Amino acid sequence: MVAADESVGRLISRRRQELGLSQAALARRLAADSGRSLSRKRVSDWEHERVIVGPSWLPFLAAVLDVSVSTLAAAAAVARYRDRFGD
């Protein structure tokens, strides 16, 4: 279950941990699925919201983390809102 106010970084981190994946393992799976390179550091940046995950990654994250693209997009909107306006 996803809380309505859960930001994308928290969602990615929570689901990754629930699935027993390390950041490196998640990066490898996303890279393999997308055919693009992705580092463990980028996953960390997403989780800590130093960088908000871009829309091109959402379908791949949704598949690996077993959440909907719309859930991830809504969580990304929460993160962008908080970044702009604060908590």
Please give the domain boundaries of the chain with CATH numbers for all domains.
8-85 (1.10.260.40)
pLDDT in tens, 29-48: 999 999 999 999 999 999 99
Query: What pLDDT score was predicted for residue 3?
Result: 63
pTM (two decimals): 0.92
Query: What pLDDT score was predicted for residue 75?
Result: 94
What is the residue-wise DSSP string for the chain?
---TT--HHHHHHHHHHHTT--HHHHHHHHHHHHTS---HHHHHHHHTTSSPPPGGGHHHHHHHHT--HHHHHHHHHHHHHHHHH--
* Ranges in the chain, pLDDT < 50: none
